[in-house]
Amino acid sequence: MIAHTESFEIITRGKGTYEITDVVQRIVRSTGVKNGLATVFIQHTSASLIIFENADPTARTDLEEYFERLVPENTNYFVHTAEGADDSTSHIRMVLTRTSESVPVAHGRLQLGTWQGIFVFEHRRSSHRRRIVVSVLGTKE
């Protein structure tokens, strides 16, 4: 039984989605776990994680535009705006997506479907350093 915890950082450059599948897969491989579970966790409340289609980038264009309208920056009743118009919107967009994503591991590989990738969803306008923790639990057989 292996219980491995490791973290890494990425730099985001404003709102949008940033794929991290390869980094997570490399961490899983380095543990030697063949069967188990990988859990990816982001240590922030204004960015989140999603598993999303990673083939056609227009799917992400529509997603990002949809979230701009679902939680608009010009919402007049928001009071938590000390850090700007993208303050409360960031927290709410995070709540509507995920802080963690869990993916089963078999044969030493993340059991993602053909079109699935793991993405950081940045909700802030400006560049941010985001820390992601990966937990890998499982066995070497």
How far, in Å, are 11, 43, 49, 85, 90 from residue 14 at the CA level?
Answer: 9, 17, 15, 14, 12
Q: Token pair 């950081």 is at which residue?
A: 120
Name the minimum Å distance from CB 14 to a copy of itself: 19
Footprint of a copy of itself on residues 26-55 (CB under 8 A)? 33, 35-37, 39, 41-46, 50-53
Please tell me whether residue 58 binds a copy of itself under the rule CB under 8 A: yes
Report the distance separating Cα 133 and Cα 141, nearest Å: 24
Contact residues toward a copy of itself (CB under 8 A) are: 1-5, 7, 33, 35-37, 39, 41-46, 50-53, 56, 58-59, 61-63, 65-66, 71, 75, 77-80, 82, 87-88, 91-92, 94-106, 111-116, 131, 133-135, 137-139
